[in-house]
Chains A and B, each alone.
Chain A
Amino acid sequence: MLKDICARTVIPVAIAVTGFVIVCCLLLYSMIRQDMVNVSTIHGTNLADTLTRSARYAMLNDDREALGNLIANVGAQEEVEHVRIFNKKGRIAFSSDPREVGRFVDKNAAGCIACHSGVVPKQTLEGMQQARTYENLQGEQVLAVTASVFNEPVCANASCHAHGDDQAILGILDVGLDQEPLRHALSSLGWRMLIFTLMILCLTVGGVVAILNLNLIVPFRKLMRFTETTANGNIQSHKPKLAGELGILVEKIYDLQEENRSLRRKFNILLSATNIDKRKELISHFPREFNESDFPESLTGHDRKRSNQLAPEDPGANSSL
């Protein structure tokens, strides 16, 4: 297959284009995915921040009912998987799922380990580090964002339920966002990109093949056919009309064949004008490119078997015209 000029020309182009387009699409997909996840994380962080600010007044007034309502209402939204507030010890004080209230969260869980990996827990995290992705019991992807509720002078000095001013963090707000819509959007994007890639590949490889076929492969095959037929001695062979370098090559091949025919004619005339011994001598000195069979038997004056003795020894050098 690789001896065919078409295959030899198209294979490297097809490999390079296909491979490079696939690499680019995969990298592009991963970048878009990362951007979408970042946007989703920023959205989650902003939501957590808004919730903390909204809950501040209720917390300062120790209005547990208002805080509970706020958490329940936010948690009722379709995109919100869970909302909970837990204290420094990890005991859940408020949650969108009432069954969770009073339970303790695991410090080694994915969302907690970022701060609790060291001996002393971290007080603050960058926006992106506050987020974690995990799979819930229903097998759905959840992006959870945590925001600390810091101790402020107004909290420490409040008459209702004073905290000591040495306590830096009063609690943690944990918001979980359902990532199924994002996953669905990414899946659609993946399919669209796959179709787009296949279309680009078909157009590029098909275009290259069509152009090569038109400008190189078809004219080259015509040239091959012409060379073969003229080499077989077909004088009336149709001369293909080719443009550019291939056209010049056709003319050169045609001129060579004409010259060859003319030489052969002259030699035949020369042979007919000499005696039999001289003919044998002339044939034995004739260029190796000619076969004895190129000359009529009447001119050589002996049968083919005998004339083989006069032919050059090397069969490789005796290629026919």
Chain B
Amino acid sequence: MTENGVTSLRQKIQEQIRLCEQRSNHGLWALALFVAISIAANANFQSLATLAEQWRDLLGPPPPTSWINGALFIYSFSAVIQIFTRMMQGTEPKGAFFPVIYLLLFYLFYGASGAQIEHFWAVLASGLTILGLESYSCWNYYQAEIRGAREELDRLKRLEKLS
């Protein structure tokens, strides 16, 4: 391998490490965003029902609370299973922010249907579980990638010394 080839390969690996370091924090950012949304939702949870009154004529009545409960249960279960499956297969975690959107919708639906405060805690617990696991899986995957890339850098360094 030529000297230029080695240098460009090293730069490529360093860039890869930088990207992995950024992506390994995506899960934590998603978790922080969800906590911020939850704080706002907690402050305005009861007033969401009043707000929904204005939209009710346009969108129709919200689904019954029991339906939303069922949807939250199925969503939480499938999301946890999906994350575990991805961890077992060792595939790249993608879309760490998607659960935040789903959980926000749950807050809105519960708020609009005039649900009790325990539904807020249920969504919060579900979000912390899913996003906690997601950020752990994300961090774990990219840390392994970073370790692999650093090993590759070491190998390049040895090759350079030998040549």
Contacts and interface: CB of A to CB of B under 8 A. Distances in A.
Contacts of A26: 118-119, 121-122, 125
A24 B69 contact: no
* Interface residue range, chain B: 20 to 34
B73 A15 contact: no
A126 interface: no
Contacts, number: 71
B80 interface: yes
Given A11-B136, A19-B132, A20-B80, A27 B69 contact: yes
Given A30-B118, A30-B122, A15 B129 contact: yes
Given A33-B116, A317-B158, A20 B69 contact: no
16 contacts: A12-B137, A16-B129, A16-B133, A18-B129, A19-B80, A19-B129, A20-B129, A23-B73, A23-B122, A26-B118, A26-B121, A29-B118, A30-B65, A30-B122, A31-B66, A34-B66
B77 interface: yes
A139 interface: no
Interface string A1-43: 0000000100110011011101110110111011000000000
Interface in B8-61: none
A25 to B, nearest CB: 9
Contacts of B116: 30, 33
Nearest to B135: A15
B154 interface: yes
B76 A20 contact: yes
B69 A31 contact: yes
Given A16-B129, A20-B129, A23-B126, A314 B136 contact: no
A296 interface: no
Interface string B127-140: 01110110011001
Contacts of B77: 20
B84 interface: yes
B162 interface: yes
B129 to A, nearest CB: 2
Contacts of A12: 84, 87, 133, 136-137
A118 interface: no
B125 A23 contact: yes
Interface string A30-69: 1101100000000000000000000000000000000000
Given A27-B72, A30-B65, A314-B158, A19 B130 contact: yes
**Top 8 closest A-B pairs, CB basis?**
A19-B129, A26-B122, A22-B125, A23-B126, A15-B132, A30-B118, A23-B125, A27-B69
B104 to A, nearest CB: 16
B129 A27 contact: no
A317 B157 CA distance: 11
Given A12-B136, A31-B66, A19 B126 contact: yes
Interface string B77-115: 100100010010000000000000000000000000001
A8 B140 CA distance: 9
Given A27-B72, A30-B122, A15 B154 contact: no
